[in-house]
Amino acid sequence: MARAPRRHHHHHVYVVELSERVWNEPAFRRANPEHDILKPCVYVGMTGLDPDLRFDRHMAGVQANRFVLKYGLRLLPQLYEVYNPMPYEAAREMEVELAIALREAGYAVWQA
């Protein structure tokens, strides 16, 4: 009897640290009224690519979030590596859950 092939999970959530200059963007400021100024501003996303490659694509302007393109500094793997990789649906849900958790912890978060 043939076994069904195992599915390879290749989706990831990722977190990009943004320059504090993003705070000058009214939409970003409005989305983060409880921001702890001691915590960084971040972008939370999900991708089917390796997070390093996805970050490079943001910075090259390929399907880039405007805040990452203009203010992106670096990935913060300590905030997301534990969750990766995962199935697509799990990554979609985790993107939202991680953004909420980081915002509740005082981070200023943008999640598209």
The structural domain count of the chain equals: 1
Cβ neighbour number for residue 43 with a 10 Å cutoff: 26
Domain containing 87: what range? 12-110
pLDDT in tens, 50-67: 999 999 999 999 999 999
Residues 6+ apart with CB under 8 A from 32: 41, 103, 108, 109
Residue 5 maps to a domain: no
Residue 48 maps to a domain: yes
Residue 27 maps to a domain: yes
Average pLDDT over residues 64-83: 98
pLDDT, residue 112, reads 84
Of the pLDDT bands very low, low, confident and very high (cuts 50, 70, 90), residue 48 is very high
Residue 41: pLDDT over 60: yes
Distance between CA 55 and CA 45 in Å, rounded? Answer: 10
Residue 4 maps to a domain: no
pLDDT, residue 103, reads 97
Residue 24 maps to a domain: yes
Q: What is the mean pLDDT of the chain?
A: 94
Residue 6 maps to a domain: no
pTM confidence score:
0.92
